[in-house]
Each structure stands twice: as structure tokens, then as C-alpha cells.
Amino acid sequence: MSADPRRQVPRTDTLLADPQLAAAADRLGRELVKSAVQQVQQRIRDGALAPGDAVDAALAGLPSTAGSLRPVLNATGVLVHTNLGRAPLSPAAVEAVAAASGTTDVELDLGTGRRGPRGEAAIAALLAAVPAAEAALVVNNCAAALALVATALGGELVIARGELVEIGDGFRIPELLTATGARLREVGTTNRVTLDDYRDALSPDTGAVLKVHPSNFVVRGFTRAVPVAELAAGLGGSGVPLVADVGSGLLRPHPVLPEEPDLQTTLDDGADLVLASGDKLLGGPQAGLVLGRAHLVQRLRRHPLYRALRVDKTTLAALEATLRGPLPPVHQMLSADPAELRRRAGALAARLAGAGVDAVAVDAQARVGGGGAPEHPLPSAAVSLPGTFAAPLRAGTPPVVGYVAGDRTLLDLRSLPPSADETLAAAVLQVAR
């Protein structure tokens, strides 16, 4: 009788000493590789794997990086998808992050050898991109920027009742503001507010007048809002700062999104401070941007809370590269030609159909996402597959996330670069097999 192969389970130290697994341990860490080895040993004990295949099986079970986040193909048609990490970084930003990941001069003047201004180059890039701003600072997200403003300017914040909004995951603007100790003075009604409502609410306790872009919803019908330009003129001479949270991070007007507020125009219209996100329509890393009048920005910078909210060197590097480098992926998606999207969808569908997959090209409507332009669909094209493809595509390598419409799985191409088409086709064919 031959020996039971399950008694021939390789020892842990023997497997870890294998040159390939030792190299993997240097790259991924010993504990992660050891865990993969132990899983392989159990498969051998269960009779599901031959002992001679242990090294190859352990290598196959290792992730590509020591982190758990996996690259995903975003075929949802949502350009800035919060659940998928919002804006994908440009190659220039990725290179900048890699360069900044070691020891850097983030807060050192190499010429003098003395401490230098933190993130000076990123701030300069912001000011070059938004000339209407006198000064700027960067914190870790737009909510942090709003919290810093509410804390540093203090007192009572005057805000329209219809702008006390809730955004994703139950996050409510009024709860954030009151958590800082600020008092809210609500003006107007849910659907209508006038300039007099704002002016009548001013008092010696007023710290700022705050305007919040509703972002992911629209109120229509019998409505009235006060534009920034009108509000700035009406507050003139009061000495009360006007702070506008525009949310999406659009630097300047964009022809595809004519109604989306942007930083440059909002400051030109008279806002004293404007707040925005860095990882939405700006197309960079997660960050909260504050731009505007120098004395107010300096007031925020000197507040103790700023130290707790400031960003790290990799964020500053990615932000600068996004601003100075080539167009980031989000802007390439925004500017995509619908005819070219239809051509790509047709070519992909024909290739898949030729391999026996029930695939057809269809017109679709993409979205900006991230709370931007909620009523502005973008013409797009998609590959339509059977509905049963959705789950296995998400479970594949790489995962592909589309959406289900009726009994079909749609893979929208506006949220994917052309360079991903080959990988997308391979993922679909793998599921079909």
C-alpha cells in the first residue's frame, strides 16, 4: 500500500525557506505568507492538493500587495463613485505619491536648512489654478474644512433652512456644524429664502454667513435662493464673512456642466471663502480645499484645530501633480466623445458575441456622482450582458462593477478608460467560461 500523501505535508519552515516564498515574504511580510502556507497545508491534509504543488499553490494564494484594497474596474457609469474611491488619480499624481513616500522636503527649505512652509508648492499650484483666491490651505476633506471654518470663525452661523442638507451615509451638515459648538441661525423656509432674510439675521454674534451647495438633490417649483453675487453685495459693509461650500471641487466653469458651481466664479462673485473637495471634479486625492481672502485663511491656519486636520506629504504631492500635470482621468471621462464610446461598446460586444457571449452594445446614461450635477446625465454607451454576470464579475480578478437594469448587466464605458477595454473583455470571457 502506498503512503498516504496527507502524511507528507511539508513543514512550515521548509516552505517558508523556499526562495520564491522567501522573496514574497520580503515583499508582503512574513505573517501574510505564513498564513497562505498554512492554508495550503490544510488543503494537503484534506486531500485536495498534492504535496508537490504546495509552493505554487501558496504563491497563487498571495495578494499582489500587503494591503487589502483591490483595484476595481468601474463600469457603473458613475464617474466619481464614492464606494469605489471617488476620483482615480492621474499617472502623474501616482508618480508624485511614490516620490513623496520616502523622506522628503515637505517642511524643509533645502537652501537654508531651516524649517519651511508645509505644502508650499501644492498651495502655489492651487492659487495658480484659481487666481481669484488670495490664499489657500488644505485639510483632509471638505467636511473638515467646514468644521474648521465653523470653529475658527465662531459665534452664530447664518444659513438658509433649505441648505441644512444630508448627504451620503447619513451625514448631516447641521449636525457637523453644531458639533463644533457653533450656533445655527436658520433663515427662510425650506423652498424660499431672500436677501432680507439673511440681512435681518445679522447680529454682533454672527461669525459668518454660510451657503451650502445642495449637491445631490434639486428643489423645483415655487423656490427662491440668493445667489452668491447678490448675497455678497447685500452683505457689503457688514464685515461678516460669506463662506460658500461648493462641494464638488470644479476649479473653473466646465462646458459639460454649465450649472455646477466652481471655485473661481464663486470667488469672483464675492465669496470671502470657498470650500470644496479634492477627490471629486478636481480629480485628485481626498482633501478639503479652502481658498479666499488671505486674512481669513491665515485665521484658519493659526487655529489649533488646523493641526489635527492637515494632510500628509503624499496628499500634498498628489494634489500638486493633479493641478500641474495633464488632465486627470475624471476630466477625460467628462470630455469623452459619445460616438467614440459607442464605437468601443460595439467593438467589445462584437468580440464577446464572437466568443459565444450574449453581448450587445446599447446607449446608456452616465452620471458625475460624488454629489455633483445630480440632474445632468451624460450620454454614454454600454455593453449589455445577461443579468447573471453581475455577481461573478464582481468576484473576478480584477473585480468588475457594473449595474443591473431589468434582467441585464450593463457595463458603462464612460467611467472606464479605453486602455481598460482589453482587461474588461478578458474578465467577461473568464466569467462566460
- pLDDT value, residue 5: 56
Residue 67 lies in a domain: no
Domain count, the chain: 3
- 165/262 same-domain check: yes
The structure's pTM equals 0.89
- pLDDT value, residue 171: 81
Mean pLDDT of 115-126: 93
Q: Domain containing 98 — which CATH number?
A: 3.40.640.10
Contacts of residue 163, Cβ cutoff 8 Å, sequence gap at least 6: 173, 210, 211, 212, 214
Residue 215 lies in a domain: yes
- pLDDT value, residue 223: 81
- pLDDT value, residue 219: 75
- Asked if 175 and 184 count as a contact pair (C-beta separation under 8 A), the reply is no
Query: Residue 425: is its pLDDT beyond 70?
Result: yes
pLDDT digits over 143-166, tens only?
A: 999 999 999 998 899 999 988 888
DSSP-derived pairing of the beta strands 378-386 and 408-412:
antiparallel
Residue 205 lies in a domain: yes
What does DSSP assign to residue 236? T
Q: Domain containing 416 — which CATH number?
A: 3.90.1150.180
- 256/397 same-domain check: no
- pLDDT value, residue 142: 93
CA-nearest of 174, 165, 281 to 225 is 165
Query: Residue 3: is its pLDDT beyond 70?
Result: no
Residue 159 lies in a domain: yes
Q: How confident is the model at residue 370 (pLDDT cuts 50, 70, 90)?
A: confident
- 343/424 same-domain check: yes
Distance CA 274, CA 210 (A): 10
- 251/293 same-domain check: yes
Mean pLDDT of 315-320: 97
Taking the C-alpha atoms of 388, 390, 392 and 396 in order, what is their torsion angle to the nearest 10 degrees? Answer: 150
3-state secondary structure labels for all residues of 248-271: CCCCCCECCECCCCCHHHHHHCCC
Residue 66 lies in a domain: no
- 226/132 same-domain check: yes
At residue 396, φ and ψ (nearest 5 deg) are -80, -175
Strand residues in 333-415 grouped as ranges (E): 360-366, 378-386, 400-401, 403-405, 408-412
- pLDDT value, residue 190: 86
Distance CA 56, CA 117 (A): 51
Q: Which of 283, 307, 326 is the last residue of a domain?
A: 326
Say which residue, 219 or 301, is predicted with more confidence.
Answer: 301
Q: Which of 326, 356, 386 is the last residue of a domain?
A: 326
Neighbouring CB atoms inside 10 A of 181's CB total 10
Residue 260 lies in a domain: yes
DSSP-derived pairing of the beta strands 206-212 and 242-247:
parallel
- pLDDT value, residue 46: 87
Report residue 390 as a C-alpha cell: 453581475
Report residue 253 as a C-alpha cell: 466653469
- 277/400 same-domain check: no
pLDDT digits over 408-417, tens only?
A: 999 999 999 9
- Domain containing 401 equals 73-83+332-432
- pLDDT value, residue 413: 98
Could you tell me what percent of the chain has a pLDDT over 90? 79
Distance of alpha carbon 119 from its chain centroid, rounded? Answer: 21
Say which residue, 69 or 170, is predicted with more confidence.
Answer: 69
Distance of alpha carbon 431 from its chain centroid, rounded? Answer: 29
pLDDT digits over 11-30, tens only?
A: 999 999 999 999 999 999 99
- 41/126 same-domain check: no
Query: Residue 229: is its pLDDT beyond 50?
Result: yes
Mean pLDDT of 262-273: 97
Average pLDDT, the chain: 92
- pLDDT value, residue 69: 85
- 307/342 same-domain check: no
3-state secondary structure labels for all residues of 132-184: CCCEEEEECCHHHHHHHHHHHHCCEEEEEHHHCCECHHHCEHHHHHHHCCCEE
Residue 124 lies in a domain: yes
- 199/290 same-domain check: yes
- Asked if 285 and 89 count as a contact pair (C-beta separation under 8 A), the reply is yes
Q: Which of 266, 292, 326 is the last residue of a domain?
A: 326
- Asked if 248 and 371 count as a contact pair (C-beta separation under 8 A), the reply is yes
Q: How confident is the model at residue 4 (pLDDT cuts 50, 70, 90)?
A: low
- 94/221 same-domain check: yes
Residue 121 lies in a domain: yes
- 230/97 same-domain check: yes
- pLDDT value, residue 6: 56
- 272/337 same-domain check: no
